[in-house]
A and B are shown apart, each in its own frame.
Chain A
Amino acid sequence: AQSVTQLDSQVPVFEEAPVELRCNYSSSVSVYLFWYVQYPNQGLQLLLKYLSGSTLVESINGFEAEFNKSQTSFHLRKPSVHISDTAEYFCAVYSGGSQGNLIFGKGTKLSVKP
């Protein structure tokens, strides 16, 4: 069975500081990996995804994540955060099968302070 572990439930950080949100997964097969962001009282929006190819993937708003197969990790990073990045971030994994459902981590709440 697949599982996703987000090690930090909350990450407070000051504006313009770098941030890393950690995500580890377990699966015996190849996976697709995703980061979703949830702003208050809203649904989930895809931030970035790894399907294959380059292990470093980037989003349009400055986030990046690196797939590390040996460490089974997919940590999310941003070199300089903004107040508007305050949200909850979910790591998710899909490992195949006829069903398309994703397995989510418990989420990390990023709070950016001025």
Chain B
Amino acid sequence: GAVVSQHPSWVICKSGTSVKIECRSLDFQATTMFWYRQFPKQSLMLMATSNEGSKATYEQGVEKDKFLINHASLTLSTLTVTSAHPEDSSFYICSAGEVGGASTEAFFGQGTRLTVV
């Protein structure tokens, strides 16, 4: 299947700083990518849909000014957690590949574990 690479796999940052997470589709072009957040012992919750060349679409309750998404090319989307706080500590996962589009499955990155101290 297609490969989605996410970087970094883990990061520790100080409270108040910003962290950027990259999501790359290595062998296919993705006009749409998705960012999920996974809390401990809970499921993945969709945060936002990243659209190449246009603004991201955020789910209800997700602060767009805090979680900045940029999808500048067909193979790269970035999520920046601005002014991070300990409650932002979580596992963030991106995916690409539209189930209802050309592909029939979503391909996931390996995830980024963010710890804010």
Contacts and interface: CB of A to CB of B under 8 A. Distances in A.
Interface of A: 9, 32, 34, 36, 41-46, 49, 51, 90, 94, 96-102, 104-107
Contacts of A106: 42-43
B100 interface: yes
Nearest to B35: A101
Interface in B29-83: 32, 34, 41-44, 46, 49, 57
Interface residues of B, number: 29
Contacts of B100: 94, 96-100
Nearest to A99: B49
Contacts, number: 64
B44 to A, nearest CB: 5
B88 interface: no
Contacts of B109: 43
Nearest to B46: A101
Given A43-B109, A94-B99, A100-B98, A32 B43 contact: no
Main secondary structure of the interface of A (DSSP, over half): loop
Contacts of B32: 99-100
Given A36-B108, A99-B49, A104 B41 contact: no
Contacts of B114: none
Contacts of B107: 46
A9 B101 CA distance: 32
Contact of A43 (B1, B99, B108): B108
B99 A102 contact: yes
Which 5 A-B pairs give the minimum distances between C-beta atoms? A100-B98, A43-B110, A44-B108, A94-B99, A43-B111
21 contacts: A9-B41, A34-B105, A41-B9, A41-B113, A42-B111, A43-B111, A44-B93, A44-B108, A46-B1, A46-B107, A49-B104, A99-B100, A100-B97, A100-B100, A102-B99, A104-B43, A104-B44, A105-B43, A106-B42, A106-B43, A107-B42
Nearest to B48: A101
Contacts of B57: 99
